Amino acid sequence: MASPVGVSAFVADDVLKFVLPAFLGYALLVPFWNPRISAELLLMSAIFTGFVATPLVGNTYLAIIKLFSNSVREIWDLHERWSRRWHYDRMFHGISRDERNAITLSDARATFTLMLSANFSLFAIAVLIDSLARAGWPEADQLPDWMRELAMTGVPILTNVRLPSIVCLPVAVIIASRSLTYYLNLQRSLFGDQYPEIARKQQRDHGEIATAIWGRVIDNRDAARDADATGSSSEAPDSRQLHLVNMHGAEIAVSGLDADGQFTFPVNPQSYLSQRLRVTLLEGDRTYFDTQTITEKSVPEFEINVTA
């Protein structure tokens, strides 16, 4: 999943985001084909190809991990939700220099940790394949010796050094796992808290940052259940629907509820300036709603409280 940041504020951010991940990937994988290759050549290759290789590998890695990880799917959905609600380019170019630098640095850190996980995952796979290829297929009575040989198979490292696979494989798996966890936590912080708050501020100051109408449903009837919950969000689909209508009752859009109780109407708020809109939730014979007058600089965010 490509990051929304297109132009870095500092060369150092580009190095952290593109060049270093590419160099690390080359340094881990190329020695399997040529253990005598020089670090200088790999660095030059990373400088010239990192801007292409890093997004390609990172996006592919996330797409594959997404198939097996609920956490990655959650981050993917968080990215999509944020991009539906806000115009990133207008927000990014309207903020202060310090805020812009902080965003680019955070984005570069996130990309680096993602690529750290991807590179060491590829390295772990390469170690496993290379060790199996070198150890060969064992006979039935040679299994203990074969496993010992497999564990001690030398893994080529840059500068023509070999380390036993029993050391390289666990280290690679641990680094890949921890880096992915750090990346996911950083993305939750960025797209769940920091970016939305910056965008809200820019919307109130300048307008034309919001690109949708959205909000959340707070079900106060579930307070007792939530008090006993472990903190993990349910992924069961919510069949309830939200209706966006004008004050004459004409329906503008309909939205379902996400697993965390949020909704998004793909409606440009600039088309309804100075109009009073209502979001309604129907449950049996009861109607819950929230109303708001859309202005050029208001944040088109609704909150519906469901009570017993």
- DSSP labels for 257-296? E-TTSEEEE---GGGGTT-EEEEEEEETTEEEEEEEE--T
Q: Are residues 225 and 161 in the same domain?
A: no
Higher-confidence residue of 129 and 159: namely: 129
Give the global pTM: 0.80
Domain match, 68 and 184 both: yes
pLDDT band at 12 (very low <50, low <70, confident <90, very high): confident
Residue 187 in any domain: the answer is yes
Residue among 70, 78, 179, 176 at smallest CA distance from 128? 176
In this predicted structure, the answer to whether residue 28 has a pLDDT above a threshold of 90 is yes
* 228 and 187 in a common domain: no
Please indicate, yes or no, if residue 1 is contained in any of the structural domains.
Answer: no
Banded pLDDT at 36 (limits 50, 70, 90): confident
Q: Report how far residue 258's alpha carbon sits from residue 53's, in angstroms, rounded to the nearest whole number.
A: 34
Mean pLDDT of 70-93: 90
Residue 239 lies in a domain: yes
The CATH number for 232's domain is 2.60.40.10
Q: Tell me: do 140 and 250 sit in the same domain.
A: no
pLDDT range class, residue 140, cuts 50, 70, 90: low
Q: Output 159 or 237, whichever has higher pLDDT.
A: 159
Among 159, 178, 206, give the residue marking a domain's end.
206
Tell whether 176 and 222 lie within a shared domain: no
**Residue where one domain finishes, among candidates 172, 187, 206:** 206
Q: How many folded domains does the chain comprise?
A: 2
Assigned domain for 95 exists: yes
Residues 192 and 237 in one domain: no
Can you give the residue range of the structural domain that contains 39? 11-206
Radius of gyration (C-alpha) of the chain in whole angstroms:
25
Band (pLDDT 50/70/90 cuts) for residue 152 is: confident
Q: Which of 191, 206, 221 is the last residue of a domain?
A: 206
Is residue 6 in some structural domain? no
More confident of the two residues 138 and 4: 138
166/247 same-domain check: no
Of 130-134, 188-192, 247-251, minimum mean pLDDT range: 130-134
Q: Are residues 136 and 92 in the same domain?
A: yes
User: Does residue 176 belong to any structural domain of this protein?
Assistant: yes
CA angle 136, 142, 144 (to 5 degrees): 95
Please tell me whether residues 32 and 63 are part of one structural domain.
Answer: yes
Answer yes or no: do 59 and 132 share one domain. yes
Does residue 4 belong to any structural domain of this protein? no
Query: DSSP for 197-224?
Result: HHHHHHHHHH---B-SEEEEEEEGGGHH
Residue 136 lies in a domain: yes
Contacts of 267 (CB under 8 A, 6+ apart): 212, 213, 244, 252, 253
Q: Are residues 226 and 264 in the same domain?
A: yes
At 166-204, the pLDDT tens digits run 888 999 999 999 999 999 999 999 898 888 999 999 999
Overall average pLDDT of the 219-224 stretch: 66
Give yes or no: residues 186 and 57 share one domain. Answer: yes
